[in-house]
Every structure is written in structure tokens, then in C-alpha cells.
Amino acid sequence: MEHKIEHKSISEIKDFLANHSHQNMSNEICGFVGFNAETKKFIATIEKNEAVDTRSFFSISPVSYLNFKNSCSMLGIFHSHIMGNENPSEFDIKMSEACCLSFIIFSINSQNFSIYEPSTKDYDVKLLDKLKKKLK
């Protein structure tokens, strides 16, 4: 994990993700979003992008994934788009459907977030709805 925020306010989480995206405009940045049931706070992390082509893709190590999953309840996987808009690519949709987690995307161009939800959901749908409303 490279950066982390834990906060009650979703707008703080939003700013954290947008700010880190802007700090690295030539590479996709990526991380996780979750919820800590004990502290009742949302958590977001920025993880190392291990893809070969970090301008168009992202990849996070399985160890980072497990560490995050063990520390709180996972809501979704975050990444930025440095080109185009915030809509999920065909690849994003496939990945989201395969891991049963939502994909949270921020576009540097449009300054907008989008959330893609897979048909089979391995996360708390009510919590994700909260996030969805504030990220729009």
C-alpha cells in the first residue's frame, strides 16, 4: 500500500482518490475502497500499479488484495482513467464481473466518477449505494 485514508465522510474519500489521480496524470493509479465496521469509517488506499502498460491498464498484487480484504470489508476496486471518460472499458467490465466487486473509476479529463456493479455482488450493497450517491 502506498497511501491510505480512513474517514467517516465520503467526500474526503472522493477528494483523496481525485487528488491522487491528478498527481499522476501519465499513469493509471489504482487501489481499494472499503468500510471498517468497527470504526464506521470508509477506507481508501492507493496500491502500486504493477501493469506493464500503466497508461492503459492497472494490476494490483494478490498480496495487497488479501491485506486489504483482511483489514476491512471490501467494497470495490478503484482506478483512474488518464484518457477518455469515466465509463468502464470492456476489460473493466470483464474484471468486475470476474471478481464480483464494484469498479470505481475516476476520469482525469471529465473529473467524474463512475461505479460499475457486477451482476454477482460480493460486497455490502447498501454501503456501496451510499458511496454511489456521493460520488455522482
Name the residue nearer to Zn ion (CB basis): 72 or 102: 102
Report d(CA 57, CA 14) in Å as an integer.
21
Q: How far is the CB of 67 from Zn ion (least distance, A)?
A: 23
Q: Which of residues 82-111 bind Zn ion (CB under 5 A)?
A: 89, 92
Name the residue nearer to Zn ion (CB basis): 47 or 92: 92
Q: Which of residues 54-73 bind Zn ion (CB under 5 A)?
A: none
Report d(CA 40, CA 59) in Å as an integer.
28
Q: Is 113 within 8 Å of 104 (Cβ atoms)?
A: yes
Count of residues in contact with Zn ion, rule CB under 5 A: 2
> Which among 18, 21, 38, 41 has a CA at the least distance from the CA of 29?
21
Q: How far is the CB of 34 from Zn ion (least distance, A)?
A: 19
Name the residue nearer to Zn ion (CB basis): 8 or 94: 94
Q: How far is the CB of 29 from Zn ion (least distance, A)?
A: 11
> Which among 16, 4, 2 has a CA at the least distance from the CA of 135?
16
Rounded to a whole number of angstroms, the distance between the first and last alpha carbons of the chain is 26
Name the residue nearer to Zn ion (CB basis): 27 or 89: 89
Q: How far is the CB of 121 from Zn ion (least distance, A)?
A: 19
Report d(CA 4, CA 31) in Å as an integer.
9
| Residues engaged in binding Zn ion (CB under 5 A) | 89, 92
